[in-house]
Structure 1
């Protein structure tokens, strides 16, 4: 049984969590190792059970461990604060972890990009600071884009960001304080998990089913924790690919309006859909900050996003953007505005959707005999693992065989999540051939043939 060597000058619960980190670094603990049951460790160290419980909870919040009710606490794989990044075609490992846009042939679009930068004198914008972070023309174009997604807009509530993750970060910076609880779906993006940990926020996940997040559970947990902020992904949810049902959207919007909880509606994937579901921002405009961007759907390097927020908190958000990036690139903002108005953005989305569907159909063909969730407009598939596989164990096993996958444990807000699944992103690998090879190897692992 693992017995930690505790630093006597530290509070005991913190000393235990730090000992876990140190023993992982030293090699005394390895990914997937099961830690002693809390009661057993408390007895071995002559401590109160509450001290060990607090230590394990801190270790989870630091990303050191995962835990499941009835199974125990396990050393977590990888760097808990690292957001996945594509490994590129020169990497030995085949990358299914990075949820990046589907690759397309850029040749024609590069030509248009260069022509548009010259034709619209976009580069001239580099010589100025944009007043209040964005000029009126960009605000008007943002309103046009947001309204196309079903979001009612007010000019004094529109802000520009350097992508959606910058938008979510700015919202959390403006609305939540270190140590506070922030609600999200029980499975969420690794970007949010990393952001919350770096900001000292406690994420608490809300259970989900096929209709999305359970609103009854949201109301109960919000009341129990006193949470004032929630970050939700109601459409094309990452990672489960579910949509929050219309009925639940209405109930959630009414609850947020009634309770004063501010919802950050992260809809970075909504532009991929021809007609996205009605956003929460349309149902509760004074209780929702709607966040979206061009990076997933149009161009990854077009680091421009939009927030539609209640005007009453817009200045707080603007200050948070100033702290993080001062302002998004005026040149990119101007280019995005032009492409919104002349239809280029929608045309590029169409190209990515077509390229994506080809890859999604490959995944369906190879993994279709397993429990696989997929969407025609998605960037990934969601693979539920058969027993006795755990997500993190599969990730370790696959990693040793040249496959990088995203296990459910790295997407879980709570240590008690018992979901065993993989998010297999299909856009990071430039080569379709390598993608097929990797999917086939995952199939063989699941069949016990590799």
Structure 2
């Protein structure tokens, strides 16, 4: 379980000191007046915000999210939006509402560990789809759907975790065609989509009738802002609402009010732009310090994938880095196939640039030394 949490970016460890919760906070230089935030959000109506709320959120809050989603390329009504406690809960209620134990779900051969945990808990049958340089192998996906009763396709078309790809428009069109032909639901995870500039339209924009879109503000604003959102076909909304009711009841209204105030006044857009610039600087630094090593990443993501030589062992490299107080994830938590590649995921956030530079130099030194042994 620790390895899965670490791979998800939720914890980090230092030898001799223990395990720590990781935080990609509001970018440096952006000062938040906490009292002003609370006062503005409450707006004289604290009593109502401390009461039970509609399970899927207040209409005015869902309308704020709908306006935000238009800037992401999704035009939707507030009636199709459900507010949740972060994107992870959004994924959880989606699989709870739409799938049953034993259902077959197509996933990338390397995918987000949090979805693997959900699938295991709900006894879903994950079928790995081989990956290419810019998305899943759609020939393999089509063959899988023709030979097995695939109920859903879980995908991260815009900034994949851990490989950082952005799926081209033509592949999105074909994936939707495959899903329609075989009656599969598309679960679109857009947790990191805010980092990609000018990506193709989300799958939910092109195929809203068969796609559940899941995202949130924990990655793009701050990890403590546990506000996520789900956009679903109208027919799926009642079952998703029931899943919210039996898990958390509703997302806390005070937290949601703060989030929606920031959505409406431009704060979220500003923070997301800052984070894109920050991620670009960190990726540039990683490319500089790890030049010559086989890296896979997006130019503006907070992580990079380092593939190792065939005779290398990721666990050995991870242990060597841990002795230098550097915590990285192997491919194991991300792997859904029987073959686990020898690779490590490097998280580039949660530290200042000077420390990141020195850490990357150590990673390079240890990786080169390990390859020569």
The answer to whether TM tops 0.5 is yes
CA contact (8 A) 1:269 1:297 kept: yes
1:447 aligns with 2:361: no
* CA distances 1:34-81 after superposition (whole Å, capped 9, x unpaired): xxxxxxxxxxxxxxxxxxxxxxxxxxxxx9xxxxxxxxxxxxxx6567
Name the SS of the counterpart of 2:369 in structure 1: coil
Alpha-carbon distance, 1:149 to partner: 0.8
Does 2:169 match 1:246? Answer: yes
Change (3 A) 1:383 1:116: same
> What does the per-residue CA deviation read over 1:262-286, in whole Å, with 9 as the maximum and x for residues that have no partner?
0110001112233332111122111
Picking from 326, 329, 349, the partner of 1:427 is 349
Q: CA deviation at 1:415?
A: 1.5
Cα separation, partners in 2 of 1:382 and 1:80, compared to 1, 3 Å: closer
Deviates further, 247-256 or 359-368: 359-368
Q: Any idea what the Cα deviations from partners look like across 1:377-418, whole Å, max 9, x if unmatched?
A: 20111111123113334323433443221111221111234x
Alpha carbon RMSD of aligned pairs, Å? 2.6
In structure 1, C-alpha distance between the alignment counterparts of 2:170 and 2:197, rounded to whole Å: 21
Distance 2:148 2:106 in 1: 9
Change (3 A) 1:297 1:133: same
Paired residue total: 368
| 1:119 and 2:44 aligned | no
Gaps of 5+ in 1: 1-62, 64-77
| Cα offset, 1:124, TM superposition | 4.3
**2: CA distance, partners of 1:295 / 1:434:** 24
Instruction: Kindly provide the CA deviation profile for residues 332-388 of structure 1, in whole angstroms up to 9, marking residues without a partner as x.
Output: 111121111111111111222233233222211111221112323201111111231
1:177-215 alpha-carbon deviations (Å, 9 max, x no partner): 123222111101111112212222222211111121112
Q: Distance in 2 between matches of 1:142 and 1:205?
A: 33
Matches of 1:338 and 1:144 in 2, distance apart? 12
Partner of 1:201: 124
Name the stretch that deviates more: 206-215 or 221-230: 221-230
* Distance change (3 Å), C-alpha of 1:107 and 1:233: closer
- Out of 270, 274, 299, which is 1:376 matched to? 299
Deviation at 1:89, TM superposition (A): 8.7
What pairs with 1:1-150 in structure 2 (closer than 5 Å)?
A: 84-87=9-12, 101=24, 104-105=27-28, 108-109=31-32, 111=33, 113-121=34-42, 123-150=46-73
Does residue 293 (structure 1) correspond to residue 211 (structure 2)? The answer is: no
Comparing 386-395 and 146-155, the one that deviates more: 386-395
CA 1:87–1:80 in structure 2 vs 1: closer, same or farther (change >3 Å)?
A: closer
* Greater C-alpha radius of gyration: 1
Cα distance in structure 2, aligned partners of 1:412 and 1:302: 29
Q: Which runs of 5+ in 2 are unaligned?
A: none
The 5 Å alignment of 1:211-250 reads 211-250=134-173
Q: Any conservation in 2 of the 1:235–1:244 contact (CA below 8 Å)?
A: yes
Structure 2 counterpart of 1:4? none
Does the 8 Å CA contact 1:184/1:204 hold for their aligned counterparts?
yes
**1:350 counterpart residue number:** 273
Cα pair distance change 1:148/1:208, threshold 3 Å: same
TM-score (norm 2): 0.90
> What is residue 49 of structure 1 aligned with on the other side?
none
TM-score, with normalisation over the residues of structure 1? 0.75
The Cα shift of 1:322 comes to 1.6
Query: Can you list the C-alpha shifts for 1:145-200, whole angstroms capped at 9, x where unaligned?
Result: 11211113133211111111110111011111123222111101111112212222
Contact 1:289 1:308 in 2 (8 A): yes
Of 260, 269, 279 in structure 1, the residue corresponding to residue 183 of structure 2 is 260
Who is 2:290 aligned against? 367
1:325 CA displacement: 1.5
CA distance in 1, matches of 2:148, 2:177: 19
Contact 1:391–1:407 under 8 Å retained in 2: yes
Aligned counterpart for 1:184 among listed residues 86, 90, 107? 107
Deviation at 1:107, TM superposition (A): 6.3
Q: 1:396 aligns with which of 319, 329, 347?
A: 319
